[in-house]
Structure 1
Amino acid sequence: MCVLNGRNTTAEFGEADCTDLTQAVDDARIGNQLKTYVKNERNKFLESSDTAFDEWEFASVSHKRIMYTQWCAEAWEKLTMEKSDNINQTFIDKGMTLAADGSEDHLLKLRGLEDMKFPTERPPPPPPRLTKKERREAALAQAIEENTSFSSQVMEAEKVRIMEKKRLADEKATRKEVAAQKKLAGMAKQAAKDAAAALRDAQAARLLVAAVPCDAHQEQEKTQPSAQGPKSTPRAKFSSEQVKKLEEAFHVSSCLDAARRANLAATLNVTEKQCTNWFNNQRAKMRKNVQ
């Protein structure tokens, strides 16, 4: 307190009747006593050293909450040691030790109204909460009991509602079934198209049994001498065995990459250009047959 007065400050918390940071411990008769103990713990901390006030003044909100929690724990420990009888009597006077179901409410005594008698019987339990369907059924049963002529109208309306609900459910199921059938039909149609296209490709590949002559570019390569020396003259036609292997490769894929094309040409003992021209001619024939 001397440090606070020396700094001419008005920043002070935890007064005996305050309801700010010590609101959590404000309860019944022992509230003011406990807050007084908390204030004493706070003052003890501020007077413990010359830097304690600066530590408190520049502390964060979370740090201040932690410090107040520590002071509350220490204050409650001292309060229970010094005034345990007062605490017990406070809990008894406020009815905090009575059973929560109300069976001991007759033991409750109010200050100034000691002659008031509380009921000794337990209060009736609250009615159970009903669902929307249960409430509708209960209202329908009550209407039938109260008015017989009205009950027939209610029953008829309920019957119409049930039939309409069933009709909507049937329509929804029918729409789902029709959508599933359309989806299956579309998948079957697409599969048929794919099968027909594969069949046409296979038929076109089987029809390619004739040898394919070299193109004009190959003829030009024959007539022009190479700078690296004489080359073997490329064949004008493929043998039947070479055509068979070319057709097998074409049936697998009508377009080969450079590596596979070079490998195939080396296997057949022909040039890579001849192999490429053969594939190009076969694709042109296939397009012509399809058209």
Structure 2
Amino acid sequence: MTQIAFLGLGAMGIRMAQHLIDAGHSLTVWNRTESRAEPLLEQGAQWADTPAEAAQGAELVIAMVRDDDASAAVWLDEQTGAFKGMSDNAIAIESSTLSVDWVKELAQQAQQRGKQLIEAPVSGSRPQAQNAELVYLVGGDAHLVNRAEPVLSLMGKKVNHTGEMGSGALAKLVTNTLMGIQVTTIAELIGMLKRQGQDPDAILEAVSTTPVWSKTAGIVRKSMVSEAYDPQFPVDLIEKDLGYCLQAADQVAPMTSAARTVFNEAQEQQLGEWNMTVVAKLYE
């Protein structure tokens, strides 16, 4: 049994943490809203009032939060941050989707404090988190990755070591950018097919038999054709990730920029909390 702290119980985090309880590990949790933790607390998880308190005595400290600012607060706050409570032998695991610059800065901050850190963002959304089918894109020291892998494997089906700190963030941003561009392109094409008086589902069914089709395209097509927009990966999050990718590209990424503009328009139309595929509505 491993003593684990889990910080951030949003739609992804609470599903990931559940697998750690199911595996019999000792789990301490923290979230900005304590009520989110109730299902885990009922199963024996311990509550901590701050990330620092959660990290005390933990062998692994895992964070799954929204963005760079939330990550900074969780790890670095002088009074409540997890680094303050962690032992030097513990491993900090940052699983949030963050900018490359921030991941590198966080690594420097960890080193200055004598803390061990790896990044482990995940590919997959709520269904994959629910079914322990996430794909990990892990950057950092190989020895630390090997130590953490047995626990990461409880929450995902594949753990990829991508290289040094920052490489995991790059892999995750590349993944999400490829996805975001496909989403906006398929939305645009469905709109075009409707204006041509065609059945988009029939046309896309034919296209799906060609080599250009992807698994993501199939999922996106199903969501858009059936107008099923319950949030799996909200517009607000994919827009944030495309922004981080543009930072990494030093703004020299016209396709990424164009896709982000589509998600920006969805936000302006108050669609930010819906699934990213809701951008199909922009072309109706």
Q: Common fold, TM-score beyond 0.5?
A: no
Structure ranking higher in strand proportion: 2
Which of these two proteins has the greater Rg computed from alpha carbons? 1
Give TM-score scaled by structure 2 length. 0.18
Please identify which structure carries the higher helix content. Answer: 1
TM, length-normalised to structure 1: 0.18
Q: Which has the higher contact order (CA 8 A, sep 6+)?
A: 2
